[in-house]
Amino acid sequence: MVEIDEELENRIGEVTRKTKEMGIPVMILIEGAPASGKSRLSNALYMALDAKYTDFVATRPPRELDLRYPFLQRYWQHLPKDGDINIHFRSWYSQYIEYKVRGIRENIKVDYEEIKDDMENFEDTLMNNGYEIIKFYVHADEDIKQAHIDKLQGNPVLKWKAEEFQGRLENFDYEGEMEQFLKGSSKCPWTKIDFEEKEEAVNSLFETVIDRLEKRIESGRNTEDAEADGYFSENYEAQLFKFDFEKEKIKKKEYKKILPGLQERMREIQFQLYEEKIPLVLVYEGMDAAGKGGNIERTRQLLDPTGYTVNATGAPTDMERAHHYLWRFATEVPRSGHIGFFDRSWYGRVLVERIEGFAENKEWKRSYREIKDFEKSLYDSGAIIVKFFLSLDKDEQLERFQDRQNDEDKAWKLTDEDWRNREKWDLYIEASEDMIRETSTERAPWYIIPGNDKRYARITALRKIIEACEARLNDK
């Protein structure tokens, strides 16, 4: 029976109770070739940590359903919340190798250099937001791996496991593929563990974890104070949101003539995307009462409800607050062939969170890049992304607020918060325009739609979606 150094066990308990208390989320990656001792090491680690806040996350060979989600989605899904610890038995690195070597991404051409980028961005984003990532690479010499396999081979009950190891070792050169990552200049370094003898390997793994966490405890969690002003101009004037609203109108008769055809086409497109396994991500932002809900409604009217979801974004729950701000959205992205509507979205980070000071200045500023990286990772996994900003003018908003107030069936839609937001009209304009300038990309463009005329806005959005989808479908 292996005896783990009791002192190390006590110390790892102590530091992880401390990181729990401080709310530091920790991700410990354990990579290594088949039969190199990963299981034994990670079991020792799993046993030493408090099961109340430790998750053991194994990256299995992907199943059909896994392949229908963006490359990083599984890891978003399992992201530890503040103070929790993940042991990643194999991680996105193993997944990268499996996907690439097996060539099993479904029907989309994957650029693996881009995926590598996305992996690095993912780590950066997490580290910048206070996640502690500790990476181990377990190495064992050939004879040690072989001895382990032979031992399993000798037991009739465990024989199949030996054969699985053998198969994995022969079928792809895991170690060769890993080299590029081990040599890479990632900001998050690897610690190599030589597995000769279990006790020693475990102790060395524990020591590294303790060391890293002790340093981290000392430097603490991000602690910049929120600055109150959020960098706003004195008297900001709309620059992007300047329209001749009189021109952007569609008459009711024309609207009734055009709409059904577009809705029919949208329905066809849903089925085509489904067949081609392309996910479609639709983002709707805009002022209160700009007509986001009604716009989405016209688009989904004839769709098959088993193939789309509407995600309406409210204030975050406690659980959502205890995760990275992208978590609650990343876990809701549509799988391939499905459509995800986002009625408000991750852009809340640089709108309401900036304006209300919920995010610190350096946080929301950094988010422009994080959001672009996130959207890039969706794009790299095959998604079409279309983002709408529905803009209306201040008088029109007031009129709609008053309409709601006076109609008992709509009064519930209007809250005190809407009035409070209205008082900050200029701040919203500035933040929204900054956002559009910073985050409109070829992969995920913004469309600013003048929304004073609801009919015009609905027809325009529908047309843009159809256009974007047709471009991709014809490109195949």
User: Which stretches of the chain bind a copy of itself, using CB under 8 A?
Assistant: 1, 10, 13-14, 17, 39, 42-43, 46-47, 50-52, 56, 58, 60, 63-65, 87, 89, 155, 157-158, 160-161, 259-260, 263, 268, 271-272, 275, 297, 300-306, 309-312, 314, 317-319, 343, 409, 412
Q: With respect to a copy of itself, which residue has the nearer C-beta, 116 or 335?
A: 335
- Strand intervals (E) in 371-445: 384-391
Listed residue (272, 472, 266, 303) closest to 379, CA to CA = 472
CB of 88 to a copy of itself, least distance (A): 11
CB of 338 to a copy of itself, least distance (A): 10
**Which residues make Cβ contacts (< 8 Å) with residue 90, sequence separation at least 6?**
30, 31, 38, 58, 59
Our CA angle for 443, 434, 249, nearest 5°, is 80
SS3 282: strand
Listed residue (293, 286, 299, 283) closest to 345, CA to CA = 283
CB of 102 to a copy of itself, least distance (A): 17
Indicate the length of the chain as a whole number. Answer: 476
Q: With respect to a copy of itself, which residue has the nearer C-beta, 87 or 429?
A: 87
Q: With respect to a copy of itself, which residue has the nearer C-beta, 101 or 312?
A: 312
Pairwise CA distance, residues 282 & 447, whole Å: 11
CB of 68 to a copy of itself, least distance (A): 10
Task: Say how many C-beta atoms besides its own lie within 10 A of residue 138's C-beta.
Answer: 22
Pairwise CA distance, residues 278 & 294, whole Å: 25
CB of 46 to a copy of itself, least distance (A): 5
Q: With respect to a copy of itself, which residue has the nearer C-beta, 43 or 331?
A: 43
CB of 197 to a copy of itself, least distance (A): 16
Q: With respect to a copy of itself, which residue has the nearer C-beta, 64 or 442?
A: 64
Listed residue (247, 291, 262, 283) closest to 390, CA to CA = 291
CB of 83 to a copy of itself, least distance (A): 12
CB of 175 to a copy of itself, least distance (A): 20
- Strand intervals (E) in 47-154: 54-58, 85-89, 132-139
Q: Is 412 buried (19+), middle (13-18) or exposed (0-12) by CB count in 10 A?
A: exposed
Q: With respect to a copy of itself, which residue has the nearer C-beta, 267 or 365?
A: 267
SS3 content of the chain, % helix, strand, coil (to 5): 55, 15, 35
Q: With respect to a copy of itself, which residue has the nearer C-beta, 299 or 367?
A: 299
Q: With respect to a copy of itself, which residue has the nearer C-beta, 187 or 256?
A: 256
Q: Give residue for tokens 């060769």.
A: 176
